[in-house]
Amino acid sequence: MALQFTDADFQEAWRELDEPQLEGEWEIFTETTGVKIYRLYRKETGLYEYKVMATLSSCSPEQYADVYMDLAYRKQWDTYVKELHEKDCDGQKFIYWEVKYPFPLANRDYVYVRERRDLQVNGRKIWVVLARSSTVSQCPEKSGVIRVKDYKQSVAMEDDGAQGTKVFMNYFDNPGGNIPTWVINWAAKSGVPGFLKDMQDACIKYSNYCKNRK
């Protein structure tokens, strides 16, 4: 199986847990209770890359990592999921994900690889999940659905010292097509905090979900 992510990729993902690296033209985009979002304009695409700092209560970072990785469970709590499952292509595991977009916009779908590592770093325990888009011939594009071909996301989590979880997220995707600016801004400004809140609620209910699944 081809190496998808390196040790350096994982180190880059967690090193901003203490303080995000905001050199260059990063700017504060929005700040709500427990969530701060920065953005960087990428001239080559005309889109923004985002960095998110957040504190999530109620659950441990290991629990959040388990919820984040559980595709079957996400289909229950994430209302924007149209289709989500893992595929095995030539010995390599890929994830297919179709996202619902508001009418009249076309849905988007992703084919991506991901990896989770639970790291020990100078006495700290840090959970990291990396994901990025991949081209797979066994996952042809669907009629009426726009394939997102440029996507990356990294998430790093550790205990916040107060029975909660400190989170750093870095992400970018190019949804393609003609999407109104207000939709993109809403997705970043409201959608990201909303997703984190939904994941927090899902984490609280996860143990019962696992019991009922058995």
List, run by run, the mean pLDDT of 10-residue segments along the chain (214 residues): 79 91 93 90 90 92 96 95 87 89 89 95 96 83 93 95 92 86 78 89 94 82
Is 1 part of a structural domain of the chain? Answer: no
Judge residue 113's burial from the number of C-beta atoms within 10 Å of its C-beta, 0-12 exposed, 13-18 middle, 19 or more buried.
middle
pTM here is 0.91
Distance, CA of 39 to CA of 27 (rounded, Å): 6
Distance, CA of 126 to CA of 118 (rounded, Å): 6
CA angle 181, 182, 185 (to 5 degrees): 85
pLDDT of 3 reads 56
Bridge pairing between strands 146-148 and 108-121: parallel
- Can you give the residue range of the structural domain that contains 44? 7-213
Is 67 part of a structural domain of the chain? Answer: yes
What's the total number of domains in the chain?
1
The terminus-to-terminus CA distance of the chain in angstroms comes to 31
Is the Cβ–Cβ distance between 99 and 80 less than 8 Å?
A: yes
pLDDT of 14 reads 94
Is 179 part of a structural domain of the chain? Answer: yes
Is 2 part of a structural domain of the chain? Answer: no
